[in-house]
Structure 1
Amino acid sequence: MKTTISHKIFETAAALPENWNALSDGNIFLTRDYLEVLEKSAPVNMTCHFIGLFEEEQLVGIALSQFLDLNKLESFGERDRCIRTSVRNFIFKTFASHVLFIGNNMLTGQNAFSFDEKINKTEALSALKAASESVKKLFKKRKLTVHITTFKDFLPEETAGFKKAGYADYYKFTIQPNMVFTIDPNWKSEQDYINALSKKYRDQYKRARKKSEGIEKRKMHLEDIIAFEETIYKLYMHVARNAPFNTFLLAKNHFSTFKRLLKDQFLFYGYFVEEKLIGFNTLIKNGNTMDTYFLGYDDSVQKEKMLYLNMLYDMIAYSVNKGFCQVIFARTALEIKSSVGAQPIEMYGLIQHRNKQINKRIAKIFDYLEPKTEWKERNPFK
């Protein structure tokens, strides 16, 4: 469809219009400071662009694009070794190694765009599609052809407007759900959360806390993160490489850059045994929502001390004590997150392959490539 909305592509946060943050709708992941984090410490195989939508000279929409070159990855994850995984990896390398996301592949949730509520959303989505074509042309000039374009992550009702805006040849897909922990407004402390658990899960909580004895948890500041950067990266890489599927690996300076630019909105907690860092987790304050971010741990200590489960409890405790409304636990480890009270929220995306013949079969191909996860949903509350 035709639209009067134009677009402009920016490569640096410094070049963004002065009123950029006013369009972010309170989402930290679309603000200038966060986009500067991506600019200065994105994964080695990721290139970010920032999209401004304009009506005449007025900024009416903002969006993020991420280009991933999967050829730069040594592997997509080393946990699952089977024929299906080998075939999947070959297909990705051969037919889908250059992927353009309109959205944020490092997070779960609608962190793709934000529009001025006064503009026509269908026209804005149409303008965003045109902007994605302009981004592809930028890469074409660099001799890089985008194989797959995808817009992510949306609730079911948020996908309805795309079809009207000219996305009919995009396939709507869903993968693992977003695990969201909703905090009861009556809870004022961690003890209120514990009291709400059924006996079975209260016993699980007590057992995990008992196992964690001897571990010291510390809030780490910028100078601490820099001092432990090598160890932090090793712990992160251990978890990342053992994931079933990866499309990027963080840069070594990612966490220190995040802390320097986002300051108190980015929380970094280290877990120590006799002054040795054996694990860490990170949180991002996003309005009244707490987003969990990347973590890392020594696997031998993790099993013995139930470290991952204790990290989940710690994240919940902090968020309850500080008055947040929900915790975004994102994808992966669905069952254990369910066991602490997180619930699955289905998220959808749109995907298109540049080859029309492949695109016609994208539904079957996608179904084959997407790693399946069998899990049982838990309800830990009374």
Structure 2
Amino acid sequence: MDTHLTIEIYSSSTQLPNNWNDLAVDNVFLRKEYLEILEKSAPNNMSCHFIGFFNEEKIVGIALSQFLDLNKLESFGERDKCIKTSVRNIIFKNFCSHVLIIGNNMLSGQNAYYFSDSIDKIHALKTLKIASEQLKSLFLKKGFKVHITTFKDFSKEEMPNFQLAGFQDSYQFSTQPNMLFDIPDHWKKEQDYIDTLSKKYRDQYKRARKKAEGIVKRKMNLEEIIKHEDTIYELYHHVAKNAHFNTFFLPKNHFRTFKESLKDKFLFYGYFLDEKLIGFNTIIKNGEVMDTYFLGYDDTIQREKMLYLNMLYDIVAYSINKGFKEIVFARTALEIKSSVGAKPQEMFGFMKHSNSIIDLAIDKVFCYLDPEVVWQERNPFK
């Protein structure tokens, strides 16, 4: 098998080869349309590059990289106000503020690359590592020294290939799990889901639905998203700012840009009380998989109306009704997501610091990068 690969690094989606999407058939998050969204509405502390892998003239692999400048961040997350958080912020500013990610920091799951079956996967991963070194040189020329290089989010099954591709010199870490909800083939409507719940969780479902009485849920089109853009951003920003940890904040035009580019593949649901927008959630159709995306809500109403839990139930119902096979619920609010039926999938990655002394203690640095969340897994089914 001829596995001589060359690399092309693109700074704009307009430079991508015409047949780029041929390799992104199964993943909307590697398609040109999505990469254009990143270009037009990425967080202001993020810059993206797209990597093409070629065997002679033929494109045989595609990958995404994101560079984060954490010095531009207004906050790393304000929920935990303590000494540890202050120490974390000092460490970040001085030693970890320039992060190169091979993958997508805005999503959970393997959205880093796709390689054709015609090439050797281990050789492809070795070449991906070479691409990361080329990107570091590219940023150095621009005056940014990359502190940390990280490859994320991979399943346990993918780990042996990384080890064989020479990643032993990098710190292997495990992140918060990705919460996945499998939809059995025989479920055709929401009632099929409700019927499988144990009494305790069926009661939780009924209580949540009763609490939400008076709230009107509405699928919003592009014009409505633009009309409510200021409120949408306030609701999103409130939730994002109060997270345990943040490495970026979306710009105000992000959801509008998503709707313009992905159209019916991107669904935006607004939740209204007395005609006032009090919350929203977003979901993305990715083949047979439904990916949950960002949301926002008014915290005072959220608690009283169990709004977040109702959003999760709405996503489950929609995905069942429309014949999806799986929902990717990502890696926040783990316990409440498990209470509706999502199961944790352990995800792995690799990390290396450019300073060899700090790299010896990279496991300590990682504790600040991905603070551990203690949670209890639930099983809502009979």
Place the TM-score, normalised by the shorter chain, in its bin.
Answer: over 0.9
Write out per-residue CA displacement over residues 193-236 of structure 1, whole angstroms, 9 at most, x where no aligned residue: 01110010000000000000000000000011001000000000
Question: Aligned partners of 2:168, 2:72: CA distance in 1, in Å?
Answer: 32
Question: Aligned partners of 1:124, 1:104: CA distance in 2, in Å?
Answer: 19
Q: Secondary structure at the match of 1:217?
A: strand
Task: Find the counterpart in structure 1 of residue 317 from structure 2.
Answer: 317
Taking the TM superposition and a 5 Å limit, the aligned residue runs for 1:57-206 are 57-206=57-206
After TM superposition, give the deviation of residue 368 of structure 1 in Å: 5.4
Query: Which structure 2 residue ranges, 5 or more long, are not aligned?
Result: none
Task: Find the counterpart in structure 2 of residue 43 from structure 1.
Answer: 43
Q: Give the counterpart letter for 2:264 in structure 1.
A: D
After TM superposition, give the deviation of residue 359 of structure 1 in Å: 1.0
After TM superposition, give the deviation of residue 141 of structure 1 in Å: 1.1
Question: Aligned partners of 1:105, 1:367: CA distance in 2, in Å?
Answer: 17
Write out per-residue CA displacement over residues 85-119 of structure 1, whole angstroms, 9 at most, x where no aligned residue: 11111111110000000000000000000001110
After TM superposition, give the deviation of residue 365 of structure 1 in Å: 3.2
After TM superposition, give the deviation of residue 370 of structure 1 in Å: 3.1
Question: Aligned partners of 2:143, 2:125: CA distance in 1, in Å?
Answer: 27
Question: Aligned partners of 1:275, 1:128: CA distance in 2, in Å?
Answer: 50
Once structures 1 and 2 are overlaid, which stretch shifts more, 73-82 or 357-366? 357-366
Task: Find the counterpart in structure 2 of residue 363 from structure 1.
Answer: 363
Q: Secondary structure at the match of 1:168?
A: helix
Task: Find the counterpart in structure 2 of residue 341 from structure 1.
Answer: 341
Number of residue pairs aligned between Structure 1 and Structure 2: 381
After TM superposition, give the deviation of residue 324 of structure 1 in Å: 0.3
Question: Aligned partners of 2:106, 2:370: CA distance in 1, in Å?
Answer: 17
2:125 and 2:165 in contact (8 A); partners too: yes
Question: Aligned partners of 1:368, 1:54: CA distance in 2, in Å?
Answer: 37
Q: Secondary structure at the match of 1:50?
A: strand
Q: Give the counterpart letter for 1:24 in structure 2.
A: A
Question: Aligned partners of 1:113, 1:185: CA distance in 2, in Å?
Answer: 29
Write out per-residue CA displacement over residues 66-96 of structure 1, whole angstroms, 9 at most, x where no aligned residue: 0000000011011110111111111111100
Write out per-residue CA displacement over residues 174-202 of structure 1, whole angstroms, 9 at most, x where no aligned residue: 12100001111111000110111001000
2:245 and 2:370 in contact (8 A); partners too: no
After TM superposition, give the deviation of residue 24 of structure 1 in Å: 1.4
Distance 1:369 1:55, change over 3 A: closer
After TM superposition, give the deviation of residue 9 of structure 1 in Å: 0.6
Question: Aligned partners of 2:369, 2:326: CA distance in 1, in Å?
Answer: 32
The percentage of aligned residue pairs carrying the same residue is 67
2:309 and 2:336 in contact (8 A); partners too: yes
Question: Aligned partners of 2:292, 2:42: CA distance in 1, in Å?
Answer: 18
Query: Which structure 1 residue ranges, 5 or more long, are not aligned?
Result: none
Once structures 1 and 2 are overlaid, which stretch shifts more, 50-59 or 3-12? 3-12
Q: Secondary structure at the match of 1:259?
A: helix
After TM superposition, give the deviation of residue 352 of structure 1 in Å: 0.4
1:258 and 1:266 in contact (8 A); partners too: yes
Question: Aligned partners of 1:78, 1:364: CA distance in 2, in Å?
Answer: 21
Q: Give the counterpart letter for 1:22 in structure 2.
A: D
Task: Find the counterpart in structure 2 of residue 20 from structure 1.
Answer: 20
Write out per-residue CA displacement over residues 271-297 of structure 1, whole angstroms, 9 at most, x where no aligned residue: 001110000000000000000000000
Q: RMSD of aligned C-alpha atoms? A: 1.1
Question: Aligned partners of 1:122, 1:342: CA distance in 2, in Å?
Answer: 32
After TM superposition, give the deviation of residue 4 of structure 1 in Å: 2.0
2:178 and 2:345 in contact (8 A); partners too: yes
Q: Secondary structure at the match of 2:169?
A: coil
1:25 and 1:114 in contact (8 A); partners too: no
Q: Give the counterpart letter for 1:349 in structure 2.
A: G
2:150 and 2:350 in contact (8 A); partners too: yes
Question: Aligned partners of 2:319, 2:368: CA distance in 1, in Å?
Answer: 38
Question: Aligned partners of 2:370, 2:220: CA distance in 1, in Å?
Answer: 36
Q: Give the counterpart letter for 1:357 in structure 2.
A: I
Q: Secondary structure at the match of 2:168?
A: coil
2:197 and 2:380 in contact (8 A); partners too: yes
Question: Aligned partners of 1:210, 1:371: CA distance in 2, in Å?
Answer: 35
Task: Find the counterpart in structure 2 of residue 223 from structure 1.
Answer: 223
Task: Find the counterpart in structure 2 of residue 298 from structure 1.
Answer: 298
Question: Aligned partners of 2:156, 2:104: CA distance in 1, in Å?
Answer: 18
Distance 1:287 1:369, change over 3 A: closer
Write out per-residue CA displacement over residues 254-286 of structure 1, whole angstroms, 9 at most, x where no aligned residue: 000000000000000000011100000000000
Task: Find the counterpart in structure 1 of residue 210 from structure 2.
Answer: 210
Question: Aligned partners of 1:369, 1:286: CA distance in 2, in Å?
Answer: 28
Write out per-residue CA displacement over residues 143-191 of structure 1, whole angstroms, 9 at most, x where no aligned residue: 0010000000000111211122222211110121000011111110001
Question: Aligned partners of 1:368, 1:108: CA distance in 2, in Å?
Answer: 19
Question: Aligned partners of 2:314, 2:203: CA distance in 1, in Å?
Answer: 16
1:52 and 1:59 in contact (8 A); partners too: yes
Q: TM-score, normalised by structure 2?
A: 0.98
Residue 9 in 1 paired to residue 5 in 2? no
Task: Find the counterpart in structure 2 of residue 245 from structure 1.
Answer: 245
Q: Give the counterpart letter for 2:85 in structure 1.
A: T
Q: Give the counterpart letter for 2:75 in structure 1.
A: S
Question: Aligned partners of 2:71, 2:39: CA distance in 1, in Å?
Answer: 20
Question: Aligned partners of 2:216, 2:301: CA distance in 1, in Å?
Answer: 13
Question: Aligned partners of 1:191, 1:367: CA distance in 2, in Å?
Answer: 42
